[in-house]
Chains A and B, each alone.
Chain A
Amino acid sequence: MIGPTIQVKGTITGNENLVIEGKVDGAVDLPQHDLTIGESGQVVANLSAKTIKVDGQVTGDITGAEKVIISKSGKVQGNLVAPRVTLEDGAKFKGSIDMDPGDKQSAAPSLPKSSAKPDLSPREVKQEAS
């Protein structure tokens, strides 16, 4: 854990889960592990991990191999890439979210298949517990 009084400038890598409650300026890369930005965490960095949960403040790009969760106390400005992304009510987010990370960005627009109305009937949406 990076405690609330600790400040780090640079790149953090590792093979274990990490909780950041302090200040980080740089990059954090934890492949195959979980990263949590705690409520007092203030991060200006690009983040990459298996799962990332933001309870504090992040400015930077966030890449989650499995999922990214911005909790009700979280504040994020940046670009998110993950197959599953959850914003809790109260979370603050500005930027882009890519939930199709396997598809390379192209300028060609996706065209509707037909004008017929699809079945958009509501279904149970998985919400991450806070």
Chain B
Amino acid sequence: MRARRQKHPAKPPEAWVATRLIAELFAGYEEGDPITVLDLGPGNASTLAFLSRFRAKIVFADLLDNPALRHPDEDVSVARAKEIIGQQLAVPTGMQFDICLLWDYLHYLDIPTMEALSAVLQPLFHNNTRGYGFGTLHGKKPDDAYQYGIADPAQLCGRPIPDEPQYRAHSQQRVGDHFLALRIARGTLLRAGRLELLFEAP
């Protein structure tokens, strides 16, 4: 069935991007199945509407809502960063996630903070956890600055980011070396200088 854009009653998204990996991210999950999803971004109308087809439990962490993570202090230790991230995620006790939506968030973090995030997330994932995020081409910041959500299995939709944090454009090698909670399984090229990455449990 051809993908259709969702209709929204208020201001619509400004960007639409075709994706090949979202369908793979949710492979094996059928409508009505239970699923737990961690989204590192703020609540997203499109993503929530997409996940409504499942019996979903979702945490929207809004990771960079915390100023200490948005503008990391060089003197903050990894231990302190872990504490801040744990408080920001506020995951219910005992919850583990089937899916983690990383979006651009790894590129908004410096290396120590990325390592801290990896350490905090690791116990929240199980052997079949999958993740989705964006990579960069040739270490360059993408041409667009959008906050993305899932419109349907074949499309992402983006809205402008208010006050975009510093973008560090980490290479896949650097992500692989410092974000150990999940490993990059495959990637495909998107438009505007982006890669989309599918992550799997290591």
Task: Write the residues of chain A forming the contact surface with B, with a CB cutoff of 8 angstroms.
Answer: 70, 72, 76, 79, 84-100, 103, 105-107, 109-123, 125, 127-130
B6 at the interface (CB under 8 A from A): yes
Contact between chains at A116 and B28 (CB < 8 Å): yes
Instruction: Using CB atoms, name the residue of chain A closest to B91.
Output: A96
Contact between chains at B57 and A113 (CB < 8 Å): no
Chosen A-B contacts, 22 in total, with CB atoms closer than 8 Å, are A79-B92, A87-B48, A88-B8, A89-B10, A91-B43, A93-B43, A94-B42, A94-B60, A96-B90, A96-B92, A99-B52, A100-B34, A103-B34, A105-B94, A107-B96, A109-B98, A109-B127, A110-B98, A113-B28, A119-B31, A125-B52, A130-B9
B116 at the interface (CB under 8 A from A): no
Provide the B76-107 mask, 1 if CB < 8 A to any CB of A, else 0: 00000000000000111011101000000000
B68 at the interface (CB under 8 A from A): no
How far is A116 from B59 in the complex, measured between Cα atoms in Å?
Answer: 26
Identify which of B19-27, B163-171, B176-184, B189-197 touches chain A: B19-27
Q: How large is the interface on B (under 10, 10 to 19, 20 to 34, 35 or more residues)?
A: 35 or more
Contact between chains at B59 and A117 (CB < 8 Å): no
Chain A residues positioned under 8 Å from B98 (CB to CB)? 109-110, 112
Q: Is the interface of A mostly helix, strand, loop or mixed?
A: loop
How far is A98 from B103 in the complex, measured between Cα atoms in Å?
Answer: 22
B185 at the interface (CB under 8 A from A): no
Which of A85, A94, A111 lies in contact with B61, CB distance below 8 A? Answer: A94
How far is A111 from B29 in the complex, measured between Cα atoms in Å?
Answer: 9
- Rounded to whole Å, the gap between the CB of B126 and the closest CB of chain A is 4
B172 at the interface (CB under 8 A from A): no
Contact between chains at A109 and B126 (CB < 8 Å): yes
How far is A87 from B153 in the complex, measured between Cα atoms in Å?
Answer: 19
